[in-house]
A = this chain, B = another copy of it.
Amino acid sequence: VTSQRDRVQLTLFQLDNYGPWTVTPAPRRETDLQALQARVYASVADFVGRDDGYAFFDRFDNMIAVTNGIDEAAHATFQEWVRTQFPVTVSAGIGTGDTPVDALEHATQAIQAAGSAQSATRTEVLAREGTQKTSGELTVVHFDVVDATGTYTDRVSAGDAGIIIKRAAVELDAHLQRTHGAIANFVGGDNIIAICPPLTDTVVDDVRETILEETGVELQAGIGTGETAHEAGYRAKIALEECRETGDRVHRAAYAEH
């Protein structure tokens, strides 16, 4: 199922000069900013989703997307659209690499090379770093918390539940980045989606164990591979459903499970 040629393309979307804008001429209302950020993110999700990519809100002023197969012209059309829908503009750094961590580093460098995130003169950057070849398989691992509703949502305070799940997400991301070149993002509820290089089932199980030890949270994982984030991620979701039904803690979608 895995291959030496696995490659990933990530785009880092960054709101231009956003921090200063939020306090000019006076601090804007916090809820207005929250609404704006969420709608810009929803738009990024729509943009990449249409071409089978994935999007993560990350820090909202910096958003990460898997954009295998989405070219610069499409990014430029999106930037033009943003400019007419929102009071802010967006820069895009595109990076490719053998692992998601490499690709994100390249995407970040592409955007950093063009100027500061808080520069008033750096606007709508569209830059790429890394080789252009983006064929090959992606691996997506979709994690969730074993019986999150019964254990947390319906039982403990929303405050405790939030800490538990968000801590598991951040420590999973840290562990995967450091150890496997993968990146993981909290995507709501008790779900965490990791974009990975090829990983064996045993490695994924070890990752689960590490997070259980570090945070006390038990995760289960569905693994999927495919040509696009959507294809791999859809299979990972199917595999995760399998975990929910069978009690397995790791399940890999058979390649045929479209």
Contact = CB atoms under 8 A, between A and B. Distances in A.
B149 A34 contact: no
B189 A101 contact: no
A196 interface: no
Interface residues of A, number: 87
B59 A161 contact: yes
A237 B30 contact: yes
- How many subunits of this chain does the assembly comprise? 4
A120 interface: no
A202 B233 CA distance: 48
A42 B34 CA distance: 7
Contacts of A12: 158
Nearest to A187: B34
A154 B29 contact: no
B45 A31 contact: yes
Interface stretch (A1-9, A48-56, A131-139, A205-213): A48-56
Interface of A: 12, 14, 18-19, 23, 27-39, 41-43, 45-46, 48-50, 53-62, 64, 77, 80-81, 83-87, 101, 104-105, 107-108, 112, 116-118, 149, 153-163, 165-167, 169-171, 173-174, 177, 183, 187-190, 193, 230, 233-234, 237-238, 241
Which 5 A-B pairs have CB atoms at the shortest separation, nearest pair first? A31-B49, A60-B188, A27-B237, A38-B42, A32-B84
